[in-house]
Homo-oligomer: A and B are copies of this chain.
Amino acid sequence: MAHKVSPLAPASFPALPEIPGVRFATAQAGVKYQGRTDVMLAELAEGTAVAGVFTRSATRSANVLDCQDKIGGPSEGRAAILVNSGNSNAFTGRNGTEAVAALSDGVAQALGVEASRVFTSSTGVIGEPLPHARITAKLAELSGALDPAGIEAAAKAIMTTDTFPKGASAEIDVGGTPVRIAGIAKGSGMIAPDMGTMLVYIFTDAQIARGPLQALVGEIADRTFNCITVDSDTSTSDTLLCAATGASGADVSEEAAFAEALEAVMLDLAHQVVRDGEGATKFVTVEVAGAASHADARKVAMAIANSPLVKTAIAGEDANWGRVVMAVGKSGATADRDRLSIRFGDIVVAENGWRAPSYSEEETSAYMKRPELTIGVDLGLGEGRATVWTCDLTHGYIDINADYRS
């Protein structure tokens, strides 16, 4: 499990502001990993609105099903989020449902909150019964250690194959009152779009009711976490929770600045997940324009971002734009070979149905050596646009995934 830190990682974990109304604690429960924290508890002040976006997998975990049951409920009373790493509690049958109930009840008792306000996530191997008693045994310790400054420790406790903890924050001013947002995420493999990817927890002291918060988070997730892919595989546990404590007293329901700040935090975290893609050595932005529709643009962007041949070419620093043509062709989107143009960064490599006359292998090869690349495709057909983010496919991915369980 000790893989070296991604070369695309930020220099350090950012300084995140404390969020009034939120306290964190972590513990070493030994769920699977030894010698590191693997459980985090977040306590949320009375009246905190909680919104969520979840995996659409047909085999989603017991925790996800339980969160989905609870997420629409009333926002009265305190709430809590409990997360463990090392075991996903997915495909664990009745045992999984019982485990979630035991965890929820345990937290409810330890903190004196309603079990219906306790949200749990589990991440790690699929199909192994979750030894939930190891976690509940730590709840007294956890509830005694709650600390408003504990968010970085929380980001570390939820890691699995991640090589660095992920955090992001923003602060806006609402009529003279500062409003803060701080988020953490984990995710590295089994990352694919169309769900709140992997585990993401965002906290803010903004005042906003659950309904508008849910609408906002869902909409932003579509442009951030649903636009990243590492390996096209979709987790059974993907969960994004956003908790607004209201402690600032500033109502942000109509504040465009809040939506923008929230989107910046979510996009930053989404990019960090890609930067920690298993084995990643390149951060790749795929920009598609000129498609017949936005849906077509997304199909093309995802076909490129998920193509093993495109991803291995990028790993090899090979300007193999022919594979981009291939991915456009297989995407299922309307495309006209002779209107298609492709660029790597600002270098036009193909246009009018063949290699650009200005193409320079030397210039393009030099570009490919950069750690951050942009592949641009213009289909020349309409106004459809999409941007997705991905990474390359390297020996590191094979190393990590050919022996993950052992």
Q: Give the B-binding residues of A (Cβ under 8 A).
A: 55, 57-60, 88, 90-96, 125-129, 189-190, 192, 231-236, 306-309, 312-313, 315-316, 318, 320-323, 325-331, 333-338, 340, 350, 352-355, 393-395, 397-398, 401-406
Q: How far is the CB of A22 from chain B (nearest CB, A)?
A: 31
Q: Which residues of B contact A329 (CB under 8 A)?
A: 55, 57-60, 234, 236
Interface centre among A94, A354, A395, A403 (most CB of B within 10 A): A354
A318 to chain B, nearest CB (A): 5
Judging by beta carbons under 8 Å apart, are A335 and B58 in contact? yes
Give A230's nearest chain B residue, CB to CB.
B308
Contact B313 A127 (CB under 8 A): no
A309-B233, A313-B404, A397-B312 known; A326+B59 contact, CB < 8 A: yes
Does B337 lie within 8 Å of A403, measured CB to CB?
no
Q: Which label, helix, strand, loop or mixed, suits the secondary structure of the A interface?
A: loop
Establish whether residues A353 and B93, one from each chain, have CB atoms under 8 Å apart when the complex forms.
yes
**Contacts A325-B126, A398-B394 given; does A308 touch B231 at CB 8 Å:** yes
Residue from B125, B235, B354 within 8 A of A93 (CB atoms): B354
Q: Please measure, in the bound complex, the distance between the C-alpha atom of A209 and the C-alpha atom of B393, giving whole angstroms.
A: 47
Complex Cα gap A318–B401 (Å): 10
B93 pairs with A338, CB closer than 8 A = yes
Taken together as a complex, chains A and B put the C-alpha atoms of A321 and B126 apart, in Å, by: 8
B309 touches A405 (CB 8 A): no
Q: Is the CB of A307 within 8 A of B397?
A: no
Tell me if B233 and A127 are in contact (CB < 8 A).
no
Knowing A59-B335, A93-B338, A322-B91, say if A309 contacts B190 (CB, 8 Å): yes
Cβ distance A335 to chain B, nearest Cβ, rounded Å: 4
Question: Is the beta-carbon distance between A353 and B307 smaller than 8 angstroms?
Answer: no
Q: Could you list 15 examples of A-B contacts with CB < 8 Å?
A: A60-B329, A91-B354, A92-B355, A94-B354, A125-B322, A127-B354, A233-B327, A233-B330, A308-B393, A308-B397, A309-B401, A316-B401, A320-B404, A393-B398, A395-B395
Chain B: which residue is nearest A399 at the CB level? Answer: B395
A397 to B279, CA, bound (A): 15
Cα–Cα, bound, A216→B230 (Å): 40
Cβ-defined contact, B93 with A321, below 8 A:
no
Chain B's closest residue to A349 (CB) is B127
CB–CB A94/B353 < 8 A: yes
Beyond A94-B353, A234-B330, 13 additional pairs, beta carbon < 8 A: A58-B331, A59-B337, A126-B326, A231-B309, A232-B232, A233-B307, A235-B326, A308-B308, A308-B393, A312-B397, A318-B403, A318-B406, A393-B398
Pick from B94, B315, B328, B331: contact of A398, CB under 8 Å: B315
Residues of chain B contacted by A325 (CB below 8 angstroms): 59, 90-91, 126-127, 236
Residue pair A128, B355 in contact (C-beta under 8 Å): yes
Distance of A293 from chain B, by nearest CB (Å)? 15
**Contact of A354 with B402 in the complex, beta carbons under 8 Å:** no
- Among A93, A315, A329, the most chain B Cβ lie within 10 Å of the Cβ of A329
What residues of B have a CB within 8 angstroms of the CB of A334 in the complex? 58
- On chain B, the residues within 8 Å of A333 by CB distance are 58
B308–A127 CB distance below 8 A: no
Residues of B within 8 A of A394 (CB): 398, 402
User: Which residue of B has the minimal Cβ distance to A126?
Assistant: B322
Residues of B within 8 A of A331 (CB): 58
Q: Which residues of the partner chain B approach A327 to less than 8 Å between Cβ atoms?
A: 233
